Amino acid sequence: MNDPATPCVKVCTLDAEGKLCLGCGRTADEIATWARLDAAARRDILSRLPARLEALVSGAKPTSR
C-alpha cells in the first residue's frame, strides 16, 4: 500500500486553543512528526481528521485523539 501523502492544504494556522491546524486538522505534534511516521500511523491520523475539522467548523470541542 502506498504511503499516504500529507493532508496539508497550506493553511497553517492553529485554532484559538493552539491545538489543531485549521487547514488540515492535525495537531502541531502530528505536523512536526509527519515525515517520520510510517504509513499505518499516517493512515490512523488521516482517519481522525474529518471529525476534527467538522468539530472546528461546528464550534464543538474537537479532540486530538
Which pLDDT does position 43 carry in this prediction? 97
Return the C-alpha cell found at 53.
475539522
Q: What single string gives the DSSP state of each residue in 18-48?
A: SSBBTTT--BHHHHHHGGGS-HHHHHHHHHH
pTM: 0.85
Q: Look at residue 63 and give its three-state secondary structure.
A: coil
Which pLDDT does position 51 carry in this prediction? 96
Q: Compute the distance between CA of residue 5 and CA of residue 56 in angstroms, rounded to an integer.
A: 22
Q: Compute the distance between CA of residue 56 and CA of residue 30 in angstroms, rounded to an integer.
A: 17
pLDDT tens for the chain, residues 1 to 65:
678 999 999 999 999 999 999 999 999 999 999 999 999 999 999 999 999 999 998 987 766 66
